[in-house]
Homo-oligomer: A and B are copies of this chain.
Amino acid sequence: MNVAFIGLGNMGGPMARNLLKAGHSLAVFDVVQRNVDTLVALGATAAVSAKAAAARSDVVITMLPSSPHVRSVYLGDEGVLAGVLRGVPLIDSSTIDPHTARDVATAARARGNPMADAPVSGGTGGAESGTLTFMVGAEATLFERIRPLLAQMGRNIVHCGTPGTGQAAKICNNMLLGISMIGVAETMNLGASLGIDPKVLAGIINTSSGRCWSSDTYNPYPGVMDGVPAAQGYRGGFATELMLKDLGLATDAARQAKQPVALGALAHQLYQLWSAQGAGAQDFSSVINLLKQHEATPGTPHDRL
């Protein structure tokens, strides 16, 4: 197939490479020339704009940083909809808010192009190894049509419902993940300060009703598990600033839907606080260090009021 691939960063780059390996012809575009050059060296063709890339394609895939980029890449004068042929399917794998995803899909449909939102989980490792999970919001016929292509970049291709629901599924899962991680962090810290061995506490929780992925697979307390970011100084993993972005999308979507998310909003603020303290690049489970007790500054508490 002739694939237009727009957005060749940490995620889009390896995804596009997997499509090249699978034998497709790629027309690529990115605002960063170096990203384009890397793909061209592997056999892709450079396009001068999203519009130009889309013009000669059987399918368009985008992987962009945020909602404004998606709007402009699809709806701008040099954008996808200005160039793409009628009927060509469009797939946006960016993680953005569901309302924007739905708006852009509506504009695409009005132009005669079926569109899917297909955000991913699995990180850069999953993008490279082709083991991503795609959460797809699309009409059923479009889902079946694009599924084989997505399967060349990912392992689990999940149909979530109509356009927008792929984004909804992703931000819902990640909001719950963000809440659970802070819940586990508070719990492990509290247990430790109450004198219970953190490994014993994790063992009890993991066989009881507090059980969750953040505790049994990705425990944030150092020394409880091997092979997790907590065992490696919180390097690697899923950055605090990416969790912050997803919680921003979730709370923003909740605001627009007038849906209370009290814990989601507080979790968002706690990751914001942690990021503001300089930890944006650390794995998000490092938020346990925001919540732990540190050595007090010496001195007697005073009250001069």
Footprint of B on A, CB under 8 Å? 98, 121, 133, 135, 156, 158, 160-162, 164-165, 168-169, 172-177, 179-180, 182-184, 186-191, 193-197, 200-201, 204-205, 207-215, 217-218, 250, 253-254, 257-264, 266-267, 270, 291, 293
Contacts and interface: CB of A to CB of B under 8 A. Distances in A.
B291 A205 contact: no
Question: Ordered nearest first, which 9 A-B pairs have the shortest CB separation?
Answer: A212-B212, A176-B210, A168-B194, A179-B183, A173-B210, A193-B257, A165-B196, A172-B191, A176-B187
A100 to B, nearest CB: 12
Contact of A291 (B158, B164, B262): B262
B212 A218 contact: no
A204 B135 contact: yes
A12 B211 CA distance: 27
Nearest to A218: B209
Number of copies: 2
Given A190-B257, A194-B253, A195-B161, A174 B210 contact: yes
A218 B208 CA distance: 12
Most chain B CB within 10 A, of A121, A168, A183, A184, is at: A183
Contact of A262 (B184, B254, B270): B270
Nearest to A173: B210
Tell me whether chain A's interface is mostly helix, strand or loop, or mixed: helix
B209 A210 contact: no
Nearest to A296: B258
Contact of A196 (B169, B200, B254): B169
Contact of A212 (B121, B188, B197, B213): B213
Contact of A172 (B161, B205, B257): B205
